[in-house]
Amino acid sequence: MEVQEVIFSHSGIQFNAKVGDTLSLRGHLGDAGEILEVGSVLAVKMEGGIKFGAPYIKGAKVGLGVLGHTKGPKVRVFKMIRRKRRRMTLGYRDLRTLVKVQAISA
């Protein structure tokens, strides 16, 4: 049976993907052109039905090809201590890795 879609988790975030999808993962993971394998597959949708793990499906993997690296959206953090005239504004952009789903094995 051919796998159509998969739900996997990476760094605390769940992704619903199929072969050919482009995703943005947290962190600086590998170099461009490298292949990453993620083994934390939660569910797989096949032609015959859906298979769920408890919590993960044993032996299932998702092959991700690294396309490049970028930064996420800017997050503004404002801190203020009242009656002390203290105000501080910080900005933060986390590192992201753009990946393309190349293979799903279940």
List, for residues 42-91, the tens digit of each pLDDT value. Answer: 999 988 899 999 999 999 999 999 999 999 999 999 999 999 999 999 99
List strands edge to edge, sheet with 13-17: 13-17, 3-10, 41-46, 50-52
List, for residues 23-48, the tens digit of each pLDDT value. Answer: 999 999 999 999 999 999 999 998 88
91 within 8 A of 74, measured Cβ to Cβ: yes
Report the amino acid identity of residue 75. Answer: V
Taking the model in full, what pTM does it have? 0.81
- What is the per-residue burial (b if ≥16 Cβ within 10 Å, else e) of 37-67? ebebbbbbbeeeeebeeeeebeebbbbbbbe
For the chain, the distance separating the N- and C-terminal CA atoms, rounded to the nearest angstrom, is 10
44 within 8 A of 6, measured Cβ to Cβ: yes
Domain ranges across the chain: 3-105
